Each structure stands twice: as C-alpha cells, then as structure tokens.
C-alpha cells in the first residue's frame, strides 16, 4: 500500500463487481492434492443413542427437509425454539441477489434477552447460567439464571438512566468478566445495538470502531488482566475518546482496582451506579429484523466492516447450531474459551448457550497461565462437557507434551470443537487422542463473523470425521463450489474452487453498519446469486468439504482475521516507511504468520532499531495480535508494469516456495533482479 490515506470502502457500483483477487488458486490446487481424504473416524457412534442427530440417515433426512421444504422446516424450529411475543407472518423473504435483501421471520416480535434469560429464570431459577473463572484460578463466580435476570435488569436500568434507548449503539470494551455479558444482554433487553470491541485492540482501532458505530456511550473497566499481564483498558479508552466527540458517557467497572484517570462529567462508576438500580426492567418488544449487534471484522480494504446481525434469525441460528453441533443436553457445562470480543464469543459463549438454558463458562485467562494445563484444570474442575477452542491453541499446547493433559480427569468431556482456521490433521489427532482419549467427538466448525453461526461442521452421532475437514453443511446451508475464474458452479465431487452459499440461512449478516453497499460489493456482487465467503474449498470424493484458506487479501493469524491493508496502513505510519506489502506464510503455531515487505524513503537512514520501530507501530496501531513475524526492508518491491505490487510472488518468497514462482512476465523492468534480491534477503531473515 502506498503512503496515502486509508483506502476506505470500495466505491459504490451497481454493476457486477470485478471478481475478487483469486491469486491463490494455485495454492488451493496444491493443498487439495495433499488432503488426507481417506482417514475416516467413526467416533461417538458408541453412545449415539443420546445424540440429537443419531445417524447419518437422520442427518440426511433433516438436511433434505431443510432444503426442499425450507419454510416449514424453519417455521417449526423457530416456533419451538424461541419465545415469541408476537408470531411472525412469513418465514423468509429475499435471496442472494444484490437487490434481494434477505429477511427472516417477518413481522415476528420477540426480545433476545427474554429468550436468553427471563424464560430460564422462570422455569429453572437456580440453574447456573454463568461460571466465571478469572485470570487467577482462585477467582471464580457462579451466577444462576435468577441472579442473571436480576443483574441484567439492573444493568438495563442503568443504561436507561444514562439515556440509552432502542436502536442506540453502545460500545463495549471490556475484559472477560460477567459484567460484559450483562452489558450485552442489557442492550438486547432495551433494543440497543451493542458493538463489542476486542479488549486486545489498540486505541486507534477502538476509536475507529466507536466512530463508525456512532456510539454515544461506552462501557469499559479500569484494567483487564490476562496471563498475569495488565491491560490498561481505561487508559486506552481515554486515548480513543480524545477523538470521539459523540461519546458523552463512559461507564467504568472496577476490576483490578488500580488508580485511573477520571474525567468528571463523562466517566461514571458502573458498580456504584448499579447498586442504586431496581432489579426489574420491562423488555422492549423488538422486530425479528431489528439489529441485535454489530461486530467489526477485517476485509480486503483498510477499513473494518461493522457486520450487523438481526435479532430473531441470528438468535435462532446460534441456538440451533449450539444444540446440534455440540449435542447439548440439559445439565451440560459448555466451555468456549474464545474472547467475547470475537463472533465465537458472541455466538457460543453468550447467545447460543443461554438461549438453550445452558451453563456457559466465561474464562478470563489464557491456555498457558500459570502453566500449559490450565484448560484441562478448567475442564476437570467444572466437569465441562463441551470444550471449544482454536487450532492455534492446540498447536501451542502440543509443543509442551502430553503430561500437562494426562494428570487431569477429563471424563466429563463429550464434544471437542475447533474454529477459526483449518485444523492440521496432526493437531486434530492430538486433540482427539490426548485430550478426547479417542472417545470424544471432534467438531471442526467452519463459519465466519458474517454467517453468525456454524456453516460446515460434523454433527456428533451422525457424521464421520476426517481430520482437517469441516465435513458437511449444517441444516439449511447449501454450499456451492464455484470455478473462481468463470464463476460457474462445479458439480459433483472431487472439485476445488471458491466456496459460496446459494440460499439464505437465518444467521446471515443483514448489513454492514452504515454501508449496505459494502455487503453487496464484498459478498453478493462477486458471484451474482451467491454469497461469497472469500475462502477456497475442496469437495472431496465423498462430498466432504475442506477449507483451503482465504483467497482474498485477508490473513488468518491464530484464527484472527486481519486485512493485509490494515497492517500495511499501520506500517506506513512510520515516518521513514514509504511502501509496505504484507502477506501470510505458513506458521507452525499461528497457522499463518505475517511477513512484511517494506521500502523506506530515500533520505531515511535504516538503523539497528528500525525493524523494532516498525513492529511497535503495528502493535500500537492495531494491537499485539497483529505483531509482524518478519519485516524485510528492501529497496523496491516487485511490481507489474502498471505499478501494482505482485503479492503472489511475495507470498511465494515468504513461504520459501521459490522453485515455483510461476509466470514472471508481468514484472516491470528490472523485476527479475528485484525478485532475486528479495529471495536472498528473505532466506537470510528466516
């Protein structure tokens, strides 16, 4: 990216957008050739009687109905799964064409908080809703459904007192503590739209998200703590708020109790104010299609998108996937150890579990703190039945050996899930054998912030697993693999291309907050009639799906999606940097690491600390998750004759795949020499 202003959202166009950059098709083909398509595991079939979907025939029958008799399928499920304040009049409207705006459960009225809290507080007040385990394992709390209702109502009354009304947006920048969940549910109760920002993001990132979401009120804590490390949340918030003129109120919760800056008239102590609130708060009656929340995610261009989800469709979809994919039964303890700042936390810590009346674990710490047995201690201590994490965590734990797992009683575990990136078969087998003792189901769940819930996934009791494959579509999901160049569907098995979805599903995103055109341009216009995921995919000889990675300019680092443009934008903030190009490369723990190629201004003198300065600037602009793995300072970058950086070549160089550089004829003058020098420099660096 040249040193210019943020590239912003794509220009408005009503024509078919040009196909996305699909330079990775050669990588997809290579990946496809190496897939272990014949390694099949027939796991929970020994106790399948207790599974909701107890056989392949049962899955196929339900799947068939979900596609062929879609309206009746979803009507029945929506009526039996949710509590409606007013029934819907039509199941579904719209389609995947850009003008065919998708809607579900039309004219239905409900309240998401009512579904997640009130109805369980009525029938099972003493059931534990939330188990909280702090960064220090000594710090724990359990919250019953009755107590949850009480706290959420107080929280909602506080927000009301502070001026929050339906459709207002509320920014949440919080550690993993119960108050964060209360804040989300209180917004839902009032019909306000929450926008949670991951508490590892830096001030500039937080600022951009708060501005884009038009937040007038924000909720934070004095400090967060993770793995013993303090995160100065209120300081970061103060920094961000310097440039958010719209925000007039900052609610602060005391978590670590250290001194913080205070701005009289703007800052209020949440815990003090809550004490004065009444624990009864009437619900707002919301429409099915009213937005529940937005969550920012990186795209190919610089500016993150506020992915916005509906109330009824999203809730129903997370509730249903939660029930079937994790094979949830009453009494189960569900531990999803993601952060609530990501969609995984929204869907499978908060909304999916609570809508099922489940007990959900809110975990503040990290897998290595105080040692690599932390997850397994957690599972043993709370008798966890379903455990959900990311492949990157499994790979990091594998390095430390099996003894950290072996001295824990993991007999309560039944289903082990992964999400965020393809799981390599070696990590899959370790999860299956060492953690699951070859008796737990492994569910490799493929989905996205935009999809709201699982899209391709095994179902315990029904679908046999192949390590590395997300297996089959969930109910109502119709995956299509398109030829990336022609956009034509590839029929039959043994095909690879780009993954799209043909029909709407209830959990699908409804808009990009404040920029609906972007939804059309990014997801619906590239291949008209289909939702485009941005992922490459193989359908193998048995009809199993294998995700082969992103085909656009986003990079999946440790299961967190980053835009190469975002990192490039951060790098060029360095006063000496004139141009940057960032690509992903295979990383043994993170899945994909960041390799940054940068050029410096002619008058800038590169010194021993330059690389560190560049690295620090990315951490400051985005956050530690975007820390570059390699930074290569080079006099020039390989470009086409028209001056476009050839990322395909940079990816090959970063991955040390330099014997297969492919066609070099597009390179501008002197390009061969540039590439040759880069290869040498990259070798020295790695």
Contact code string over 511-550 relative to ligand WTA, x by CB under 6 A: ----------------------xxx-----------x--x
By C-alpha distance, which of 588, 538, 533, 596 is closest to 558? Answer: 588
Per CB under 6 A, the segment of 105-113, 166-174, 225-233, 443-451 that binds ligand WTA is 443-451
Query: In angstroms, what is the minimal distance from the CB of 547 to ligand WTA?
Result: 4
- Sorted by sequence, the CB contacts under 8 Å of residue 612 that are 6+ apart come out as none
* Residues 675, 587: Cα–Cα separation, whole Å: 22
**For ligand WTA, which residue of 128, 335, 343, 384 counts as binding (CB under 6 A)?**
343
Residue 293 backbone phi and psi in degrees, to 5: -160, 170
Per-residue b or e along 51-63, where b marks 16 or more CB atoms closer than 10 Å to that residue's CB: bbbbeeebbeebb
Query: In angstroms, what is the minimal distance from the CB of 394 to ligand WTA?
Result: 12
66 near ligand WTA, rule: CB under 6 A: no
Q: Which is nearer to ligand WTA, 253 or 388 (CB)?
A: 388
Q: Determine contact, residues 460/43, Cβ cutoff 8 Å.
A: yes
Q: Which is nearer to ligand WTA, 216 or 346 (CB)?
A: 346
Contact code string over 399-438 relative to ligand WTA, x by CB under 6 A: --------------------xxxx----------------
Q: Which is nearer to ligand WTA, 31 or 396 (CB)?
A: 31
**For ligand WTA, which residue of 103, 445, 471, 599 counts as binding (CB under 6 A)?**
445
Helix runs in 124-195, H state only = 145-161, 178-190
Where would I find the beta strands (DSSP E) of 87-202?
90-93, 103-106, 109-110, 128-133, 140-144, 169-173, 193-196
Q: Which is nearer to ligand WTA, 420 or 487 (CB)?
A: 420
Q: Which 99-138 residues touch ligand WTA, going by CB under 6 A?
A: none
611 near ligand WTA, rule: CB under 6 A: no
Size (the chain), residues: 686
* Residues 591, 73: Cα–Cα separation, whole Å: 38
Q: Structure tokens of 320? A: 């249903």
Query: In angstroms, what is the minimal distance from the CB of 277 to ligand WTA?
Result: 35
78 near ligand WTA, rule: CB under 6 A: no
Q: Which is nearer to ligand WTA, 252 or 524 (CB)?
A: 524
Q: Structure tokens of 602? A: 């002619």
* Residues 205, 199: Cα–Cα separation, whole Å: 11
Query: In angstroms, what is the minimal distance from the CB of 480 to ligand WTA?
Result: 16
Q: Determine contact, residues 209/237, Cβ cutoff 8 Å.
A: no
* Residues 295, 195: Cα–Cα separation, whole Å: 6
Query: In angstroms, what is the minimal distance from the CB of 470 to ligand WTA?
Result: 5
Q: Which 459-488 residues touch ligand WTA, going by CB under 6 A?
A: 470
Question: CA distances (Å), 417 to each of 208, 260, 335, 535, 665, in order?
Answer: 33, 39, 10, 20, 45
Q: Which is nearer to ligand WTA, 301 or 533 (CB)?
A: 533
Query: In angstroms, what is the minimal distance from the CB of 592 to ligand WTA?
Result: 10
Q: Which is nearer to ligand WTA, 153 or 343 (CB)?
A: 343
Per CB under 6 A, the segment of 45-53, 175-183, 342-350, 640-648 that binds ligand WTA is 342-350
Query: In angstroms, what is the minimal distance from the CB of 472 to ligand WTA?
Result: 13
455 near ligand WTA, rule: CB under 6 A: no
**For ligand WTA, which residue of 363, 446, 523, 527 counts as binding (CB under 6 A)?**
446
Q: Which is nearer to ligand WTA, 376 or 428 (CB)?
A: 428
What H or E segment, with its residue span, contains residue 29? helix 25-33
* Residues 146, 150: Cα–Cα separation, whole Å: 6
* Residues 594, 571: Cα–Cα separation, whole Å: 12
552 near ligand WTA, rule: CB under 6 A: no
**Angle formed at CA 671 by CA 668 and CA 675, multiple of 5 degrees:** 145
Q: Structure tokens of 646? A: 């050839």
* Residues 350, 362: Cα–Cα separation, whole Å: 9
Q: Determine contact, residues 213/171, Cβ cutoff 8 Å.
A: yes
Interface with ligand WTA (CB under 6 A), residue total 22
**For ligand WTA, which residue of 387, 447, 501, 530 counts as binding (CB under 6 A)?**
447
Per CB under 6 A, the segment of 278-286, 361-369, 440-448, 629-637 that binds ligand WTA is 440-448
* Residues 198, 296: Cα–Cα separation, whole Å: 9
Q: Which residue is associated with the tokens 């007040």?
A: 125
Bond prior to 370 in cis (omega within 30° of 0): yes
Question: CA distances (Å), 170 to each of 15, 247, 659, in order?
Answer: 35, 10, 52
**For ligand WTA, which residue of 254, 256, 412, 448 counts as binding (CB under 6 A)?**
448
Contact code string over 288-327 relative to ligand WTA, x by CB under 6 A: ---------x------------------------------
Q: Which 561-600 residues touch ligand WTA, going by CB under 6 A?
A: 561
**For ligand WTA, which residue of 135, 284, 444, 566 counts as binding (CB under 6 A)?**
444
Query: In angstroms, what is the minimal distance from the CB of 500 to ligand WTA?
Result: 12
The residues of the shown chain that bind ligand WTA, judged by CB under 6 A, are: 297, 342-344, 419-422, 444-449, 470, 533-535, 547, 550, 556, 561
């Amino acid at each position: 990216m040249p040193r210019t202003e943020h590239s912003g959202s794509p220009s408005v166009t009503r024509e078919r957008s040009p196909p996305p950059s699909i330079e990775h098709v050669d990588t997809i083909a290579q990946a496809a050739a190496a897939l272990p398509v014949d390694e099949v595991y027939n796991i929970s079939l020994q106790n399948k009687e207790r599974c909701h979907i107890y056989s392949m025939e049962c899955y196929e029958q339900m799947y068939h109905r979900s596609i062929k008799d879609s309206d009746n399928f979803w009507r029945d499920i929506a009526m039996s799964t949710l509590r409606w304040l007013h029934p819907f009049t039509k199941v579904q409207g719209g389609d995947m064409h850009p003008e065919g705006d998708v809607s579900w459960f039309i004219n239905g009225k409900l309240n998401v908080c009512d579904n997640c809290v009130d109805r369980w507080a009525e029938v099972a007040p003493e059931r534990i809703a939330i188990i909280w385990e702090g960064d220090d394992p000594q710090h724990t709390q359990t919250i019953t459904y009755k107590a949850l209702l009480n706290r959420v109502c107080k929280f909602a009354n506080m927000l009301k007192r502070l001026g929050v009304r339906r459709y207002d947006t509320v920014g949440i920048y919080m550690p993993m503590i119960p108050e964060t969940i209360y804040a989300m549910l209180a917004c839902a109760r009032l019909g306000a739209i929450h926008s949670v920002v991951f508490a590892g993001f830096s001030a500039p990132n937080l600022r951009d998200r708060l501005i884009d979401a038009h937040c007038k009120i924000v909720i934070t804590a004095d400090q967060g703590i993770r793995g013993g490390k303090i995160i100065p949340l209120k300081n970061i918030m103060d920094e961000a708020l310097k440039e958010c003129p719209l925000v007039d109120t900052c609610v602060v919760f005391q978590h670590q109790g250290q001194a913080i800056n205070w701005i009289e008239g703007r800052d209020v102590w949440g815990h003090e104010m809550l004490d004065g609130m009444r624990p009864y708060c009437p619900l707002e009656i919301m429409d099915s299609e009213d937005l529940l929340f937005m969550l920012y995610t990186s795209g190919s261009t610089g500016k993150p998108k506020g992915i916005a989800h509906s109330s009824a469709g999203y809730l129903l979809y997370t509730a249903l996937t939660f029930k079937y994919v994790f094979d949830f039964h009453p009494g189960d303890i569900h531990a999803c150890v993601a952060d609530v700042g990501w969609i995984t936390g929204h869907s499978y810590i908060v909304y999916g579990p609570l809508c099922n009346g489940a007990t959900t674990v809110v975990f503040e710490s990290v897998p290595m703190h105080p040692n690599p047995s932390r997850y397994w201690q957690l599972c043993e201590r709370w008798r966890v039945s379903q455990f959900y994490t990311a492949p990157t965590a499994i790979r990091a734990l594998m390095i430390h050996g099996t003894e950290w797992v072996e001295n824990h009683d993991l007999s309560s575990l039944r289903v082990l899930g992964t999400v965020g990136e393809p799981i390599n078969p070696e990590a899959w087998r370790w999860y299956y054998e060492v953690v699951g003792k070859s008796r737990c189901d492994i569910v490799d769940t493929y989905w996205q912030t935009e999809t709201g819930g699982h899209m391709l996934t095994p179902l315990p009791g029904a679908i046999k697993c192949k390590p590395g494959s997300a297996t089959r579509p969930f109910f109502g999901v119709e995956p299509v693999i398109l030829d990336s160049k022609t956009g034509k569907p590839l029929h039959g098995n043994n095909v690879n291309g780009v993954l799209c979805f043909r029909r709407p599903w209830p959990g699908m995103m409804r808009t990009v907050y404040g920029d609906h055109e972007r939804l059309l341009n990014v997801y619906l216009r590239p291949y008209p009639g289909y939702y485009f995921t941005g992922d490459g995919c193989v359908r193998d000889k048995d009809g199993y799906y294998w995700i082969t990675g992103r085909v656009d300019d986003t990079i999946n680092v440790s299961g967190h999606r980053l835009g190469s443009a975002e990192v490039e934008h951060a790098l060029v903030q360095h006063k000496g940097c004139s141009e940057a190009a960032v690509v992903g490369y295979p990383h043994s723990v993170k899945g994909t690491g960041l390799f940054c190629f940068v050029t410096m201004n002619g008058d800038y003198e590169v010194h021993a600390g330059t690389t560190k300065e560049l690295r620090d600037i990315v951490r400051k602009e985005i956050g530690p998750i975007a820390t570059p793995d390699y930074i290569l300072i080079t006099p020039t970058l390989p470009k086409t004759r028209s001056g476009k950086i050839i990322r395909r070549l940079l990816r090959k160089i970063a991955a040390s795949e330099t014997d297969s550089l492919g066609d070099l004829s597009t390179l501008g003058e002197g390009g061969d020499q540039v590439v040759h020098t880069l290869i040498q420099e990259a070798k020295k660096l790695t």
